[in-house]
Chains A and B, each alone.
Chain A
């Protein structure tokens, strides 16, 4: 049981690191002749990965997955509201 839980934590950590590298690489694609350029697809990707990472951390590391319903609701609402607001402001 203990090994299973630790395995899950380690898997979450590896996934987090992997998507971090993906988002870093993604940011690197938005350039032209060595200069950064605006890129909506890259930004949407970066923000989506950001939301995904935050949710992974909250659900697994912070144990929101097994927390009372009010906390699960609050954190999910925060995720959507926050990353949604950021995206909305970016697109505006």
Chain B
């Protein structure tokens, strides 16, 4: 009864044709989700093992000690941050996935854009700046020690101290979840996100102190902040998994196309029938 068409359906065509072309999978979302796992493990390998930025070396090192640090870790810094330059783009996949689900919320759209904007700005000081400074420092080993110390300070201050963008991102994320009536993400994730805002605030004094718990390698500003960040990230990974799984298939982009086709059909009062 139904004409089999080989070209993509046009608006107003029989709804049955849409059935054939509606993708049922969430492959794009799953690819993004897996990229989060891969990227953050790479992130850990790069920042912890290779480049020694997590935990950061101390703010109260002398210039000579700083030069020595760069000499000792020169090769692994080049490998680690060189690799980061290649893979940093994957953070955008993770953010795209989160934002996709934020747009499903009843109040998500505006804050979804803020989320992306805040992270787009935050990525430079929060991630890349340390990489660029350290790569520059080890690029010429005979560089003036004072310039090396400057690059050291700039990179690490930016890494730990770039809290404004991330605090904003956490705030819009928490607000969106709390006000969302579609219950895309669970409310407790909003509260875990608020802890992140608290840790960002507790990292603000790194610009003042070279020692103690509020310095850039301090027990509060760095260690406690990092522990809570890891908890938050793990929670987000699980929540995203659940959100992708539970998204109704009719909600995929083609599903929306189907719904609009149904509306067109209803408006035309079932005039369009299948070929006989």
Direct A–B touching, Cβ under 8 Å: no
A interface residues with partner B (beta carbon < 8 Å): none
Residues on B lying within 8 angstroms of A by beta carbon are: none
